[in-house]
Structure 1
Amino acid sequence: MALVKCAIIGSGNIGSDLMIKIIRTAKNLEMGAMVGIDPDSDGLARAARLNVPVTHEGIDGFLKLPNYKDIKIVFDATSAKAHIHNNALLQKDGKKVIDLTPAAIGPFTIPVINGDANLDEPNVNMVTCGGQATIPMIYAVRRACKRLIYGEIVASISSKSAGPGTRANIEEFIETTSKAIETVGGAERGKAIIVLNPAEPPLIMRDTIFTLSQGGDKEAIERSIHEIVAQVQKYVPGYRLKQNVQFENIGGNAPIRIPGIGLCTGLKTTIMLEVEGAAHYLPAYAGNLDIMTSAALATADLWAGKLLAKEAA
């Protein structure tokens, strides 16, 4: 069966994990190239051992590879700044680009929420690790109420799973995730916080989500949350609720002040998650990286399946 060839730019932790996932679990994709800038990187060495074409000359080296013209999908796991340059070159050649940086050139894409809607976009952005984990829960509350006033997420990850790229993009993480809470999750106001936890042994990714909503009952919200958790688990098996969903009624005697909106009442919902990685390349505690690569793969696999079906028709 013919498969769609793809390439990964960025041979670090995220790129390496994504490569292993594609080789082991992709339905419609096959590796066509691994691109990096460090000739001594483990990701490039591992790719070479797996007979994947490699280059350590970055995007320029990628463009020169003999099989470049055969590659349909390119995953960019570099940085927000680098992605702007890479995307401009790739779009000229009609490549489908899956952006794993906070650059947000294309629409925010979270498979369980809007993966189908963005299939025909030339560039899609996978938000952030915290966004992929928590915004499905924001969305779950939104679809079960009349008004979602506020959504706040706190993503706690092991400092060992935060590489140079993650640390260099902390500000972009906060800005991108906050915006996506509103545009994808459906909250009127969003806020994102990330915590790099230095604990030893390293802790699994933990996420706490707070929402303030109106016009929804507790049973419907909790049911919606469990339904979305089950859907995310189809591509991230280690995604799970850490404890029961918590509710608190915020009355007029103690309203919450929401910046840009004012004093608000409603139903406060607290959701606590943990994300355990599949340990394809990285340790299981690095669920923050695993959910990004899993979401990117799910999005690309869906698009590739559509392309193959069209070619077969």
Structure 2
Amino acid sequence: MSKTPAAIIGSGNIGTDLMFKILRLSDTLEMGMMVGIDPASDGLARAARLGIETTHEGVDGLIGCSRFDDIGIVFDATSALAHVANADALRQYGKLIVDLTPAAIGPYVVPAVNLDAHVDADEVNMVTCGGQATIPVVAAIAAITPVHYAEIVASIASASAGPGTRANIDEFTETTSAALEAVGGAARGKAIIVLNPAEPPMIMRDTVQVLTRRLDGAIRTRVEESVAERVAQVAGYVPGYRLKQAVQFEDQGDEVDTIVPDDRRDPGGYTRVSVFLEVQGAAMYLPEYAGNLDIMTSAALRTAERLIAARRSEAAA
């Protein structure tokens, strides 16, 4: 079966890493176009050396290119603000869009949690790298017991954060917090991102802390099993994703009432569940410390392939 040509808008770290994943890993997609706005960008230069058509004229250059009609899916790896304009420009052409920015125009998708629910969408949003790493864990806990509050801290190497990521810091926290609730199932979500300037650069680390009702031993065991199962699912498409240590449980009292929604406050107390993760990158573009690129582009590729497969099945029916 022939591969579907894909275009990537955004020739920075995320877009370039995604390009290499499509070239090396995908049986469904092929690179049709690399789109940027900086003619001197490394991503455009690498694409050109690989024989991939490029443009530095942004979405207008994509729409005007000779292969545009053949492009079956467009990835946007720019910024939240730029994606709003890009999506508006592309909408009339009926292209599938996978949004890797925090713009959140389409539904949030985390492949290990809710991909099948959105295979008919024309545009999907990949939340954020921190969301892709932590929402599966929150959802795994919520599958066993209600999550009153979920807080995540995503720590990434400063060297792995390009201009687009830095421009999206505010949107990162807002979109990830919203998706912790909408996809993860938390009653209240909070997200924090840390750009760590340490040298040598550290690999991506993520901390998930949730508050639940007071859990007994049997429920704690079920939570541990659910988290382990979901981590294995994510590792199926992000091989460097793993638990850093065993799931931690700590009983809490009314001292945490202020962060629990009013209708979830429990005089019987709470249990704080802490999960520590790390994401080692596949080093297709930046070194292994850039796990934030790896989980984002791996999730986007898995999602795009599923969307294309669903449409092929529909066309064959």
Q: Which residue of 1 aligns with 2:156?
A: 157
Contact 1:8/1:33 (<8 A) preserved: yes
> Does 2:293 align with 1:294?
no
Cα distance change of structure 1 residues 248 and 259 upon mapping to structure 2, 3 Å threshold: closer
Q: CA deviation at 1:132?
A: 0.5
* Aligned-residue offset at 1:72: 1.1
- Name the structure 2 match of 1:128: 128
Q: Count residues in correspondence.
A: 311
Match of residue 232 from structure 1: 234
Partner residue in 1 for 2:225: 223
* Post-superposition CA distance 1:226-264 (Å, at most 9, x none): 000000001100000001110012245x55422542754
In the TM superposition, residue 311 of structure 1 has moved relative to its aligned partner by 3.7
Distance in 1 (CA, whole Å) between partners of 2:147 and 2:213 is 6
User: What letter is aligned with 2:240?
Assistant: G
Question: Are residues 1:268 and 2:272 paired?
Answer: yes
1:245 aligns with 2:247: yes
What letter corresponds to residue 169 of structure 1 in structure 2? N
Preserved contact between residue 250 and residue 256 of structure 1 (Cα < 8 Å): no
Q: Are the counterparts in 1 of residues 150 and 180 from structure 2 also a CA contact under 8 Å? A: yes
Cα deviation for residue 170 of structure 1 reads: 0.6
- TM-score by length of structure 1 reads 0.96
Counting only pairs closer than 5 Å after superposition, residues 93-104 of structure 1 correspond to structure 2 as 93-104=93-104
Please provide the CA RMSD for this pair.
1.4
Structure 2 unaligned segments of length 5 or more: list them.
Answer: none
1:309 CA drift (Å): 3.1
Deviation of 1:160 (Å):
0.6
Partners of 1:162 and 1:192 in 2: how far apart? 17
Which one-letter code corresponds to 1:171 in the other structure?
D
Classify the secondary structure of the residue corresponding to 1:273.
Answer: strand
SS state at 2:154 partner: strand
* Aligned partner of residue 174 in structure 2, secondary structure: helix
- Aligned-residue sequence identity (percent) comes to 59
Partner of 1:176: 175
Deviation at 1:310, TM superposition (A): 3.5
Q: Which residue of 2 aligns with 1:71?
A: 71
Contact 1:210 1:268 (C-alpha < 8 Å) held by counterparts: yes
- Please list the CA deviations of residues 174-221 of structure 1 after superposition, one character each: whole Å capped at 9, or x if unmatched: 101111111110000010011111111000000100001127510000
1:200 and 2:209 matched:
no
Indicate conservation of the 8 Å contact 2:149/2:260, yes or no.
Answer: no
Q: Residue type of the partner of 1:258?
A: I
Residue deviations 1:73-130 (CA, integer Å, cap 9, x gap): 0000011111111101211000000000110000110000111111111110000110
Q: State the 1:65 CA deviation.
A: 0.6
Of 279, 284, 289 in structure 1, the residue corresponding to residue 288 of structure 2 is: 284
| Structure (1 or 2) with the greater helix fraction | 2
Unaligned 5+ segments in structure 1 are: none
1:258: which partner in 2? 259
**What's the counterpart of residue 307 of structure 1?**
311
What is residue 55 of structure 2 aligned with on the other side?
A: 55
Deviations 1:141-182 (A, max 9, x none): 00011x210000001111111111111111100101111111
What corresponds to 1:33 in structure 2? Answer: 33
Asked if 2 retains the 8 angstrom alpha-carbon contact of 1:91 and 1:122, the reply is: no
